[in-house]
Amino acid sequence: MAKAVYLEHYLDSIEGLPYELQRNFTLMSELDNRTEEQKAEIDKLAEDYVANVKNLASEQRVQHLQKIENAYTKCKEYSDDKVQLAMQIYELVDKHIRRLDADLARFENDLKDKLDSSSQESSDEKRLKKDKSVRDKKVSRTQKDSDPDSPGRKKVKNSPNNTDLAMHPSDVLDMPVDPNEPTYCLCSQVSYGEMIGCDNLDCPIEWFHFACVGLATKPKGKWYCPCCIKEMRKK
């Protein structure tokens, strides 16, 4: 749309250019004809002067030479007028060329601004999608924490985030952690890897990482954490 506007304005500005050029070229052609006529007159005057110079009085010679000089002056005036017309034609065309260059520069700047704006909008959309993805993950994690099979319940002994890949307790230190996510185990870290739940219903910690309590596989039967075993021995 912007391109069409620039083109329309430029075409309007050069609408009268052909007529102006034609008028100036016609004037230059007329000046050429006058110059040729004046040159022919100069040649004729020069021939007459050479042929009759011996028979002319001093005053007549001066008058004859004055006519030749006037003819040369007139011829020079015609030439100067032609130069002026040529300069006008050049400036006229150059003005429209500069106008075209300026319009092209403005059009390129407008196009660049539009592309930058489009790129910014695309970046904003990507950022919004990324933020939405992060929020969806948090919602999903919250739903898992509230699930009956999560570490807060006693129905199963495996963490909801249980994976087939074993993780060391130190690995979790390098993971980004939501400050609102609950922590478990003796290490007071979030749930990860395989976890086991203490069968003591009054256990204050409830869930433990395999590696933190020295387990490699899930034990058979009931299992109590070191804290609860210590308390039971005191009784």
Q: Which residues are annotated as a binding site?
A: 185, 187, 198, 203, 209, 212, 225, 228
Q: Are 175 and 140 in contact (CB under 8 A)?
A: no
Place of tokens 């009268």: 16
Measured between alpha carbons, how far is 121 from 105 in angstroms, rounded to an integer?
Answer: 24
In contact, 75 and 108? CB cutoff 8 Å: no
Would you say 177 and 183 are in contact if contact means Cβ atoms under 8 Å apart?
A: no
| 126/219 Cα distance (integer angstroms) | 47
Name residue 151's amino acid: P
Binding residues for Zn(2+): 185, 187, 198, 203, 209, 212, 225, 228
Number of neighbours of residue 194 by Cβ within 10 angstroms: 22
